[in-house]
Structure 1
Amino acid sequence: MSLAKQATVYLLEKDTGITDTIRSLCDEKSMLLECFESGQELLHALDSLTPDCIIAANNEPVGQALTLMEALDSHQHDIPVIILGDHSDVSSAVAAIKAGAIDYIEKPVIYGRLAEHFNQALARTALMS
């Protein structure tokens, strides 16, 4: 029996196509994926488990991901956050990076860049195990 911690990803996304893509990538990397309907639900889940990465869509309601990042900062959670946003929304991308996101990935092309971040999360998790 392995005592190694399984890397966990929290996802805040309502688009089932994007969710399915991320779920496939998590399965491929043997990572646990937890999906949430709201930022509040995700924040509440942090009381029991701190994920290795949070992926948050910056869509409905507008700015939800940035609000989540502000809440994470105010509670002093140091969790890498990747924001998913609409193609060519430069102002949202800049705001996300300024708020502390490690990346802003444009939908729908997310697989390759997200895979790189997952590899980094897996490496961090392996070091901490």
Structure 2
Amino acid sequence: MSLAKQATVYLLEKDTGITDTIRSLCDEKSMLLECFESGQELLRAIKGLAPDCIVAANNEPIGQALTLMEALDTHHHDIPVIILGDHSDVSSAVAAIKAGAIDYIEKPVIYGRLAEHFNQALARTALMS
């Protein structure tokens, strides 16, 4: 029986195709995926269990991911955040990185880049176990 903590990813995304891609990647890496409908719901969940990584779409409502990042900063949560956004939205990408996101990945999700970040989250989790 392993006492190692399973790495957890919190996902804030309404596009089922993107969600399915991320779920597949999490399954492949034996990571737990928790999906949320709103930033507020995700923030409430963090009070119980902080994830190893957050993936948040910066779309409906507009700027939801950046608002989430501001709330994380206000509450001093040091959780790596990856923002998913539209391919032509350079200003949102710059704003996300300035707000502290570890990456801005254009939709459709680039599987390889996301996999690299998940590998890093797994390594951090293993070090803390």
Q: How far did 1:57 drift?
A: 0.1
Query: What is the SS of the residue equivalent to 1:60?
Result: coil
Q: How far did 1:110 drift?
A: 1.9
| Identical aligned residues as a percent | 93
CA distance in 1, matches of 2:36, 2:110: 19
Instruction: Normalising by structure 1, report the TM-score.
Output: 0.99
CA distance in 1, matches of 2:40, 2:33: 17
Q: How far did 1:109 drift?
A: 3.6
CA distance in 1, matches of 2:89, 2:47: 33
Correspondence for 1:121: 121
CA distance in 1, matches of 2:40, 2:115: 26
Q: How many residues align?
A: 129
Instruction: Normalising by structure 2, report the TM-score.
Output: 0.99
Structure 2: tracts of 5 or more residues without a match: none
Q: How far did 1:88 drift?
A: 1.8
Structure 1: tracts of 5 or more residues without a match: none
Q: How far did 1:55 drift?
A: 0.3
Correspondence for 2:11: 11
Quote the RMSD (CA, aligned, Å).
0.5
CA distance in 2, matches of 1:59, 1:104: 13
Offset from partner CA, 1:11-36 (integer Å, 9 cap, x none): 00000000000000000000000000
Correspondence for 2:78: 78
* Runs (4+) off by over 3 Å: none
Correspondence for 2:95: 95
CA distance in 2, matches of 1:11, 1:110: 15
CA distance in 1, matches of 2:88, 2:126: 35
CA distance in 1, matches of 2:87, 2:101: 17
CA distance in 2, matches of 1:90, 1:18: 20
Query: What is the SS of the residue equivalent to 2:108?
Result: coil
Offset from partner CA, 1:34-86 (integer Å, 9 cap, x none): 00000000000011100000000000000000000000000000000000000
